C-alpha cells in the first residue's frame, strides 16, 4: 500500500468517472476547454438543468469522446484568435461524430474555420452587453426574446460561413452572432449564454440540452447520493478510513456521506491549529460527537502552530509554515490512531479542473487559460503516506455539495457556512500573528457574524469578515487619547468566488458593527469598510 498519493488520485478520478458513467453519465454533455475562464460556469449551467457535464481538454480526441458517448459537446471560449499559428484546435473528426455541438465565442469561430468558413479581425470589437436580433427563432433560440441582452467578449468575427450554415442572430456590430447547420446539429454563438448578464442565456442552454441533444434530467442530488454510497462501499469494503475534518461544508458533507456508507469504519480527526473563529472548534466537536454521533478525535495544536509563525510577516511564508506543521501533526496522529487503509478528502470538481494539465499546450508548453481564482488551502499531503484516496465529491461543484449536504441531514449552520481559508485568521492578520492580535481579530470577527445573524442577513453575503491591520491610529475614548489598531470590514457578494463585489449594506448595520467593535474589542479604536471589488482586489487580504 506504499502508493504515491497523486497516482492514487488519478486512479480515483478514473474510478469515479467510470462508476458514475454506469448510470448518471448516460445523459452527459462534454465541454472542451480552450482556456476560457467561463468553462466551469458552462458546466455548472448544464448541471442546473439536471444533466451531468464534464470539462475536458481541447486535446481530447474524437475517439475518446466517442467512447464516453455524450449526448452533446460544447466548445468553450478562449483568449486566442483562431487564425493565430499557435491557436489551440480540437480534433477535426469531432464534426463527424454525429453528436450535436455548440460552439461558444472562440468555439464558434473554431467551428467556422475548421469547416471551411472564414474568421477575421472585426472592425469593431464588442465587449460587455449587446442586444441580439433574432433571424431564426427555432431550435437553439426557441423562447429567446428578440432584442435580448447578451454578454459579448470578442475582437474577431465570422465573415464567411461554412457550407450548410445559416445565421440565427445578429447585433448592431456583429452580423454573425449565432449560427446553425440544422441538418448536422452544429450550432454556434458569439456571445456567452452561461453568464448571468445574458438574458435568455439559460433558455438557450436548455434548448441545446433538452431539444437538440435530447437529454433527460437524471443528474439529481438523490441519484448522486445513492450512487456515491454504493461506490464508497464497493471501494472501501471493510477497511478503515481517515478524514481530516475542518468544519467547512465540504469536509462536513463528506463526513456525513462516509458515515452513512461505512459507519464506524470512519475516523474523523480535527486538528485545531488555533486560527479558527471564536467558538468554532468547540461547536464543531459538539455537533459531530454529541448531536450527530460521529466521533471526532480532537487534536490541540494551537501552541505549536503559533510558534511556527513567530516573527513571520510574509503571507506565503505563513501558508508554507502552517501547511508544513499541519502535515507533521497529521502524520504523527494518523500513526497513533491507525493503521488506516484509506484517506478521505473533500476534493471538488473545480480543484480537479484547475490541477489538471488540460490548459497547457503540449507543443509549446504555454498555458492556454488565464486563471484568476486563488486558493487558500493549508497544503498538500506528502506523497509517501501509506494511504489510498477516496474522494466521493470530486465530481461536484460547491453548490452541488451544499445540496448533497442538505439531502443527507447537515444543518443549515454548516451548509450555509461562509467559505473560510485553510490558514484561517492567520491570513486575516496582516503582518505577524501573535496571541494578542489573534484575540483582537477573533473578537471583532465574532461581532461581525453576530450582527449579520441578528439582522437575518448572513445568507446575503458570500463572505463577511474582519481584517486586522498591523498599524495603529490615534483616537479618543472618554477623555483619554488612544493609540490602537484599525479593523477592516470585508462584506462581499458573489456567485462562486471567481469574481466578487462589495456589499451595499445599510449604513445602520455598519454603524452598529463599528460601535460594537470599538466598545467591546480591546485594542481597536477605528473601523473602516473595504469597497474594493474582485478584480482588481482579491477577497482575502493575504
- Please check whether residue 203 is in contact with residue 146, taking contact to mean a CB–CB distance below 8 angstroms: no
CB count in 10 Å sphere of residue 201: 22
Of 40, 194, 231, 542, which is the active-site residue?
194
Conformation bin of residue 136: beta by default, left when phi > 0, alpha when psi is -120 to 50: beta
Among this protein's residues, is 183 annotated catalytic?
no
- Contact 86/35 with Cβ under 8 angstroms? no
- Dihedral angle over CA of 223, 226, 230, 235, nearest 10: 70
Catalytic residue chosen out of the listed positions 90, 105, 158, 268: 105
CB 491 within 8 A of CB 513: no
Signed CA dihedral, 63, 67, 68, 71: sign only: positive
Catalytic annotation on 123? no
The number of helices, as runs of H, and strands, as runs of E, in the chain is 15, 20
Rounded CA-CA distance 523/235 in Å is 53
Cis, peptide link before residue 487, omega less than 30° from 0 = no
Cα–Cα distance, 241 to 251 (Å, whole number): 14
User: Taking a C-beta distance cutoff of 8 angstroms, is the pair 109, 158 a contact?
Assistant: yes
Provide φ and ψ at 294, rounded to 5°: -110, 105
Return the DSSP state at 162: P
Q: Which candidate in 90, 154, 192, 540 is catalytic?
A: 192
* Catalytic (active site) residue 215: no
Query: By the 8 A CB rule, do 125 and 134 touch?
Result: no
**Residues recognised as catalytic:** 105, 192, 194
Amino acid at each position: 500500500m506504499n502508493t504515491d498519493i497523486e497516482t492514487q488520485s488519478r486512479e480515483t478520478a478514473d474510478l469515479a468517472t467510470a462508476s458514475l458513467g454506469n448510470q448518471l453519465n448516460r445523459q452527459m454533455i462534454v465541454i472542451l476547454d480552450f482556456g476560457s475562464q467561463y468553462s466551469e460556469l458552462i458546466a455548472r449551467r448544464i448541471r442546473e438543468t439536471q444533466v451531468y457535464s464534464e470539462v475536458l481538454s481541447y486535446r481530447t480526441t474524437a475517439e475518446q469522446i466517442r467512447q464516453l458517448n455524450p449526448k452533446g459537446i460544447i466548445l468553450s471560449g478562449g483568449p486566442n484568435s483562431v487564425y493565430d499559428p499557435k491557436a489551440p484546435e480540437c480534433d477535426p473528426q469531432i464534426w463527424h461524430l454525429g453528436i450535436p455541438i455548440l460552439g461558444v465565442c472562440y468555439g464558434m469561430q473554431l467551428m467556422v474555420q475548421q469547416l471551411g468558413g472564414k474568421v477575421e479581425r472585426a472592425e469593431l470589437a464588442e465587449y460587455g452587453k449587446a442586444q441580439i436580433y433574432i433571424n431564426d427563432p427555432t431550435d437553439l433560440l426557441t423562447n429567446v426574446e428578440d432584442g435580448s441582452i447578451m454578454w459579448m467578449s470578442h475582437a474577431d468575427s465570422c465573415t464567411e460561413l461554412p457550407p450548410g450554415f445559416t445565421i440565427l442572430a445578429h447585433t448592431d456590430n456583429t452580423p454573425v452572432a449565432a449560427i446553425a447547420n440544422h441538418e448536422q446539429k452544429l450550432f454556434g454563438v458569439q456571445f456567452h449564454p452561461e453568464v448571468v448578464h445574458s438574458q435568455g442565456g439559460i433558455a438557450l442552454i436548455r434548448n441545446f440540452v433538452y431539444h437538440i441533444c435530447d437529454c433527460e434530467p437524471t443528474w439529481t442530488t438523490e441519484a448522486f447520493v445513492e450512487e456515491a454510497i454504493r461506490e464508497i462501499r464497493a471501494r472501501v469494503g471493510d477497511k478503515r478510513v481517515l478524514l481530516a475534518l475542518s468544519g467547512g461544508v465540504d469536509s462536513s458533507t463528506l463526513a456525513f456521506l462516509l458515515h452513512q456508507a461505512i459507519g464506524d469504519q470512519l475516523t474523523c480527526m480535527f486538528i485545531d491549529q488555533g486560527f479558527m473563529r471564536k467558538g468554532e472548534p468547540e461547536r464543531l466537536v459538539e455537533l459531530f460527537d454529541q448531536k450527530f454521533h460521529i466521533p471526532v478525535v480532537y487534536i490541540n495544536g494551537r501552541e505549536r502552530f503559533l510558534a511556527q509563525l513567530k516573527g513571520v510577516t510574509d503571507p506565503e511564508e505563513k501558508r508554507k509554515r502552517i501547511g508544513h506543521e499541519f502535515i507533521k501533526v497529521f502524520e504523527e496522529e494518523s500513526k497513533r490512531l491507525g493503521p488506516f487503509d484509506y484517506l478521505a478528502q473533500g476534493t471538488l470538481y473545480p480543484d480537479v479542473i484547475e490541477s489538471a494539465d488540460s490548459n497547457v499546450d503540449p507543443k509549446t508548453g504555454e498555458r492556454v487559460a488565464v486563471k484568476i481564482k486563488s486558493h487558500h488551502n493549508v497544503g498538500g499531503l506528502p506523497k509517501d503516506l501509506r494511504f489510498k484516496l477516496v474522494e466521493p465529491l470530486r465530481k461536484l461543484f460547491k453548490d452541488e455539495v451544499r445540496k448533497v449536504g442538505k439531502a443527507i441531514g447537515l444543518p443549515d449552520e454548516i451548509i450555509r457556512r461562509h467559505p473560510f481559508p485553510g490558514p484561517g485568521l492567520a491570513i486575516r492578520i496582516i503582518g505577524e500573528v501573535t496571541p494578542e492580535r489573534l484575540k483582537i481579530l477573533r473578537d471583532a470577527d465574532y461581532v461581525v457574524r453576530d450582527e449579520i445573524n441578528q439582522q437575518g442577513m448572513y445568507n446575503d453575503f458570500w463572505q463577511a469578515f474582519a481584517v486586522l491591520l498591523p498599524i495603529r491610529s490615534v483616537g479618543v475614548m472618554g477623555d483619554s487619547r488612544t493609540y490602537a489598531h484599525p479593523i477592516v470590514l470585508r462584506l462581499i457578494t458573489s456567485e462562486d468566488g471567481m469574481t466578487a463585489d462589495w456589499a451595499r449594506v445599510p449604513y445602520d448595520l455598519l454603524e452598529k458593527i463599528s460601535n460594537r467593535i470599538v466598545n467591546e474589542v480591546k485594542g481597536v479604536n477605528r473601523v473602516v469598510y473595504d469597497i474594493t471589488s474582485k478584480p482588481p482586489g482579491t477577497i482575502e487580504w493575504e
